Chain A
Amino acid sequence: MGRPDLEPTIGELLDRHGVSRRSFFKYCTAMASLLALPPLAARALASQLRSAQRPSVIYLSFQECTGCLESFTRSFAPTIENLIFNVISLDYDDTLMAAAGAQAEQAREQAMRSHYGKYLLVVDGAVPTGDGGVYHCAAGRTGLDILTECAKGAAAVVCVGTCASFGGLPFADPNPTGARAISTLVPDKPVVNVSGCPPIPEVIAGTLLQYVSSGRVPDLDAHLRPTVFYGNSIHDRCYRRPFYDQGKFAKTFDDEGARSGWCLYELGCKGPTTYNACATLKWNNAVSFPIQSGHPCLGCAEPDFWDRGSFYSPIPSPRWGKAGEVSPAQAGDIAAGAAVAGAAIGLGSVMLARQRIKRYQRQPPQQSEPRNEE
């Protein structure tokens, strides 16, 4: 029986729409695979999801190219329609929603009032803070103003894409608009960074699903990224890794090594310093990923990837590190964002991430991160 005093659970909604248990179990099996859970965890995931309520989601876009949303809408598992209708309640997204103008803003305000303290705020794009924030305005307000208002009643903030996570291209030198990462502007809420330019669609969907099923922010690395997706470097999971170990490298894009599928390290591959799931989940429903297509990894899921010198210069080996290790400068920025996370949801994960940052700061690398100007 439904409970008239509460919103329906996901299970009740599924029953109402005639979704069979086998269909849902299959969906959860795919999700368990996506989340790198043991295959038999699908049953527990199904049970958790069925008893959970759909969280209200407010999606804000700032300085971005809409590539992240384009990526999100191409998720194969779960599909975007399945996610929107069954798992989350997408109450505001000015790109996807039919309403516009005052009606759209009213929908956002209504969702914020109805779910104050509970809704999930998803953000893509950096926020310009220079010159009073005038470089991004919507509905007569600056992006900074809108973000501050929406973050206030959010249970957690999910930053989709490298621009929202670390500033991305708007933040790149010389950063004329004063763009900043969301974690530096929302100091009092749990923040999850889903970086990538764009992020893998299944990683975006999987992060939201993980939040819905567990009711808390997932385990995070020092960059506040879910470790389930960002725990391994591209290099460590790359199918070309055996060639690296044998010292077999492509020297140009058309030499014998390139044609033989050898390692792209000497062509500038940033796989060793980039943490993402491209090598395992891949893209376009696991068809391929950049390295499989013969191009070095650009490192787009890492902070300052645009300012780290040429995409086609090999990275110096002292910069290699373990998952979540960051330069002291980056660590300071991230710590500022995570330092006062006080909400109940995700506090443990945020605290763990902070501990990793502190551990790193006590043992900094021997060589600092080079930037373009160097």
Chain B
Amino acid sequence: MSTLGHIPVCVEPIGSVLDAQGMVGGGMAAILTELAVLLERLVQHGEPGAIDVRSLPLSPTERMRLIETLGAGEVDIRIQANGESHIRETSIPGVWWSEHRDSDGVLLVTLIEVARVPEMVAAADADLVRGAERLRAVLAPLCAAHGGTTHGTT
């Protein structure tokens, strides 16, 4: 008896069809132009920016070419926060390719961020305060044992 695995299937990416008809290129040029503007704004005014890749009508081929064009830089960050976030610096300093996944590995959002460091990497102010509290809590018994005191405000 035949199973699904016995049925021959040929998958041809839509991108290849578009390629064959000369329809690739416009979207990528538009994104690179916007990135150039955002990078200039970052340099001159310190304002970060981002482009949401999902909202762009890119063919798979265009998307692949965009990733190739941006290339890879020196920094590669993986964050484990209810699923993995993978943030890579591209070959253009200040331009980051960020992919955020949920705990099942499902891709939630892909951004091209223009920033010195993407916001998600930095610790939040409230977390810093809690971190300091936790450290003091850890230090308190140690200091008590040695007859000292902990520093910092409460």
Q: Which residues on A are within 8 Å of B, measured CB to CB?
A: 19-23, 25-27, 29-30, 32-33, 36, 38-40, 43, 76-77, 79, 237, 239, 242, 260-261, 280, 285-286, 292
Contact = CB atoms under 8 A, between A and B. Distances in A.
B92 interface: no
Contact of A26 (B48, B54, B55, B82): B82
Interface string B76-102: 000101110100000000000000101
A33 B98 CA distance: 13
11 contacts: A20-B82, A21-B124, A26-B83, A26-B85, A26-B108, A30-B100, A33-B55, A33-B109, A40-B49, A261-B14, A285-B106
Nearest to B98: A29
Contacts of A292: 14
Contact of A286 (B49, B54, B59): B54
Contacts of B23: 242
Contacts of A40: 48-50
Contacts, number: 78
A39 B57 contact: no
B9 interface: no
B126 interface: yes
Contacts of A21: 124, 126-127
B111 interface: yes
Interface string B94-137: 00000010100011110101000001100010110000000000
Nearest to B82: A23
Contacts of B64: none
A23 B81 contact: yes
A26 B14 contact: no
Given A29-B111, A39-B50, A261 B17 contact: yes
Contacts of A19: 82
Contact of B119 (A23, A25, A77, A286): A25
A30 B107 CA distance: 9
A295 B143 CA distance: 72
Nearest to A240: B14
A29 B100 contact: yes
Given A22-B120, A77-B102, A79-B102, 9 more contacts: A20-B127, A22-B79, A23-B82, A26-B83, A29-B109, A33-B52, A33-B54, A39-B111, A242-B21
A45 to B, nearest CB: 13
Contacts of B107: 285-286
Interface of B: 14, 17-18, 21, 23, 48-52, 54-55, 57, 59, 79, 81-83, 85, 100, 102, 106-109, 111, 113, 119-120, 124, 126-127
In the complex, the 7 A-B pairs of residues with the closest C-beta atoms, listed nearest first: A39-B50, A23-B82, A30-B108, A22-B81, A23-B81, A33-B109, A21-B124
Contacts of B127: 20-21
A359 to B, nearest CB: 28
A342 B16 CA distance: 54
B3 to A, nearest CB: 22
A174 B55 CA distance: 40
Nearest to A36: B55
A280 B57 CA distance: 8
A239 B59 contact: yes
B154 to A, nearest CB: 15
A239 B63 CA distance: 14
Contacts of A76: 102, 106, 108
Contacts of A237: 57
A29 B120 contact: yes
Contacts of B18: 242
A115 to B, nearest CB: 29
A48 to B, nearest CB: 16
Given A79-B102, A237-B57, A239-B59, A26 B81 contact: yes
Contact of A25 (B17, B48, B120): B120
